[in-house]
Amino acid sequence: MQVGGYGKVNGSWQARDEHWVSGLKLGRDTCEHSAKKGKITTPLFPCKLLLLNDLLPFMLTQYMHPGSVLSSLTALLWPSAKRWRLLLLTVLLALTPATIPAQQSHKDASTGLEPIRSYISAGWNTLSRSLSDCATFSDTKLTTAPQLYLPADFPMPESVKQLETRCRIQVRSLPPSASHLGASAAQSIDPPGLLYLENRYVVPGGRFNEMYGWDSYFIVVGLLRDGRLDLARDMVNNFLFEVEHYGAVLNANRTYYLTRSQPPFLTSMILGVYGAQKAAGHEDHKWLEKAYQLAVKDHSLWVVEPHLAGSTELSRYFDFGDGPAPESVKDETGHYREVVAYILAHPDVDQSLVVRKASGQTASSVAGSTYSLQVCDVARTTAKPDCTVASDVALSADFYKGDRSMRESGYDISFRFGPYGAGTHHFAPVCLNSLLYKSETDLEEISKILGHKEDAEQWQKRAEERKAAIQKYLWNSRRGLFVDYDFVHQAQSSYDYVTTFFPLWAGIATPEQAQALVKHLPTFEQPGGLVMSPHETGGQWDFPYAWAPDQLIADEGLRKYGFNKEADRVSYEFLSTVAENFRQDGTIREKYNAVTRSSETQVTAGYHMNIVGFGWTNGVFLELLHDLPAELVQKLSSEQGSSAAATH
């Protein structure tokens, strides 16, 4: 939709596009409606600023070029000063808030949190991406020129044709042999590029331009809590588009992600949007029916080979690609060389992950780069020591399969499935199977809403079968924990990990199991929230880091089983860490050091950065805050207000 405003019509200035007026009114109405409902997360003044923010680019472009775009600068027409004043007066009147009712007094208790609420509210727009914006096509993880790929079965929209000239990108269609996740030629698409999506979406942080799988669930939670149903629905519709045209929910909408998915949260997003629409008086069974059919298709990815975990009747993470993950080669410079060095320095690690060969020899089990193993004199001067090549080494094909599969899990990098996640594809994980159980119960619920009685019965049966398998293989009664299961060696993992709380969130645990799990909170609890594990490995998904998604899963799981006191405590620890760091530098990050309660990180394995944004932290902050008792919200607000005052 092209934004209009005023234009020269028959020699006089007139309103040229009613969408501009209605859009401005909608923005004002949204702010006022949210305030009346007690849901507004920003003061009205920032609401005004957000609307002006959206309006200013329009004013600076449309009024410099009040008609069609002209080729000559001398042809530019400027409205008179009187019309400028009239326009600005109209804007200010439109932004003037209605009287805020008494319900707004509830928010007065949390005025110390208004800056961070405003940051989050504005962030949904800052982090939004659209294919109408040329900047969306760049990829900071690679150095290739921007490309856009359409589904193989999708005609090129007129708007996309215009992008080739306007954004200087090349538009291609995916070949049939590489048209969907797991297709035989998907890994060989060259050059890589962005995969087409129809709607806007929110990215995790400023350096990203693609929509990610499991990040988006927590973003959607935040959008719905913040009253942004429109954007939440756009994102879910994008995922439905991915399933329909690319075969499944992807890791993200890039061609090199056509080899893997991510943790399955699609049904949770569908029910979240459906529930919000219903609460707003717009129950949409037709949309839900389409979403149901595509969610069933997406679920099917996880219940057939190669995503089956042996004979356990459980599922595993598995990337269809081979060799190094393309995005890691540039984003994690030197990572695979460091892996080789670690394995060689630790004889207790599975040495088959490294393949030794004589210089110049080739090996079929090798993928990726080859490294030289040398014997060198000890350097005693500044002169370069003499070295002799002992052999060449490379990481095995099986290592890369585990490395890629770890990235499908979302927990990259952790040592949870062996050093550097090398054994990920050998495990039935607690998180994945809890999510699939939740998906199956969600599909049962959706079937009932739609009147599909037989479907509902089948989904109930499948969920109960998965639940029984989880209890058999993943519950350790001696330790009182849910753990991952190595189906290759037929042994439970001894690696304590925060995903042990996923079965609480999914409703799998018995009351007795929940009680046992709560006793393990001290294993993970630190001053800044729950750490991923008690193991310090240098990986960002291990000690001492706390991540927003796992805070929310654990918090909601604890509350589901009545452990509200514990949930209040650990969620407050995380919320206060985020708020304290925001007060110091005005940003929200993707992860935090839960021991030092800071955003400073010392990651040494793989991806090293701590990105600003940050989509899922923003969403989780709002949801945890909503679940917190009023007195703790007041305490958090007071701490931020008093601390802020002390710094001035």
Please identify every residue annotated as catalytic: 412, 590
623 vs 272: CA distance, rounded Å: 13
**Residue 396 main-chain phi, psi, to 5 deg:** -75, 160
Torsion angle of C-alpha atoms 317, 322, 327, 328, degrees rounded to 10 = 90
Rounded distance, CA 500 to CA 128, Å?
Answer: 33
HSE-CB of 556 using CA atoms within 13 angstroms = 18
Residue type at position 319: D
User: Nearest 5°: phi and psi at 230?
Assistant: -60, -45
CA dihedral 301, 302, 306, 310 (to 10 degrees): -160
Residues 53, 33: Cα–Cα separation, whole Å: 20
As a whole number of angstroms, the distance between CA 639 and CA 634 comes to 9
Query: How many Cα atoms within 13 Å fall on the side-chain side of residue 65?
Result: 12
Inter-residue contact 50 to 122 (CB < 8 Å): yes
Rounded Cα gap, residues 239 and 299, in angstroms: 13
Rounded to 5 degrees, φ, ψ at 587 are -130, 165
Tell me the C-alpha to C-alpha distance, in Å, between residue 626 and each of 239, 571, 588: 27, 11, 18
How many C-beta atoms lie closer than 10 Å to residue 206's C-beta?
A: 14
The angle at the Cα of 371, spanning 365 to 375, to the nearest 5 degrees, equals 125
DSSP 3-state of 367 = strand
> What DSSP string describes 286-340?
HHHHHHHHHHHHHHHGGGSTTSB-TTSS-B----S--SS-HHHHHHTTTHHHHHH
> Residue 432 CB: number of other CB atoms within 10 A?
25
Report the candidate in 499, 604, 601, 619 with the shortest Cα–Cα distance to residue 550: 499
The type of residue at 637 is S
Q: How far is CA 533 from CA 38, 506, 525, 549, in A?
A: 38, 20, 10, 14
Output b/e per residue, 355-379; b: 16+ Cβ within 10 A: beeeeeeeeeebbbebbeeeeeeee
**324: preceding bond cis by omega (within 30 degrees):** no
CA distances from 109 to 104, 309, 486 (A): 10, 51, 50
